[in-house]
Amino acid sequence: MAVSVSVLAIITSLHLIAFVLAVGAERRRSTAKVLPDEYDEKTFCVYGSDASTVYGLTAFGLLLISQTVVNAVTKCLCFGRGLVGGSSSTWAVFFFVISWVDFLGAEACLLAGSARNAYHTKYRGNFGLNDISCATLRKGVFAAGAALTLLSLMGSILYYWAHSRADTGGWEKHHNEGLGMTTSNYSQHQSQQQQPGEFEKV
């Protein structure tokens, strides 16, 4: 199986868009501040934009589509025609594991970050208290997802490349065997045609 430029373009594009969205989600994390209630002596949390949740979930979906494309093309390494033994096959298995570890890590960060960013505290406290809890997403969760997205991109590309080199391409193997059999039969036929002539010369 030869490396397809279109497959590489799809994988790269989806991963890079997911990376940009993850970075945007980190920068647009929801913030909260404590304000007094104008009607009674209570305080409450006021939250900012929830754009990070949308960015994070979109990045999650794009990364999932990209991983699906890679494993559909390579038959998830398990359901294809088999790989040629050697270093290429070893590297294909290695990068297959790496791509899945990075993918799962990135998806976990993006999903957890989106869910936490969408959570808004309902707690109210007495006016003037400073220990009111306004739950917000910890800094760095979406950044970790973005970093793992890039690692997932590299792992997916290297896995696809190594798998393409190690793919048996069943037709080529059968074709070469067929050529060998044809050549052998042709040689035997030629030798049989030459034997009567040799006897006539004698």
Q: What is the pLDDT of residues 98-147, one digit of tens each?
A: 999 999 999 999 999 999 888 877 655 555 555 567 778 888 999 999 99
Same domain, 97 and 191: no
9-68 confidence digits (pLDDT tens): 999 999 999 999 999 999 988 887 777 777 666 777 778 778 899 999 999 999 999 999
Residue with tokens 């760095």: 140
Same domain, 67 and 113: yes
Instruction: Please count the structural domains in the chain.
Output: 2
Mean pLDDT for the stretch of residues 195-200: 48
Q: Work out whether the CA dihedral 143, 145, 149, 151 comes out positive or negative.
A: positive
Same domain, 124 and 58: yes
Single-letter residue type at 157? I
Same domain, 174 and 132: no
Domain that holds residue 33: 5-168
The whole-number pLDDT of residue 178 equals: 45
30 secondary structure, DSSP code: -
Same domain, 70 and 17: yes
Same domain, 13 and 107: yes
Same domain, 147 and 180: no
Closest to 139 measured CA to CA, from 163, 113, 118: 113
Same domain, 24 and 66: yes
Cα 129 to Cα 34, 55, 92, distances in angstroms: 10, 34, 58
| Dihedral angle, C-alpha 157, 58, 16, 99, nearest 10 ° | -20
Same domain, 11 and 87: yes
93-109 confidence digits (pLDDT tens): 899 999 999 999 999 99
- The pTM (predicted TM-score) of the whole model is 0.72
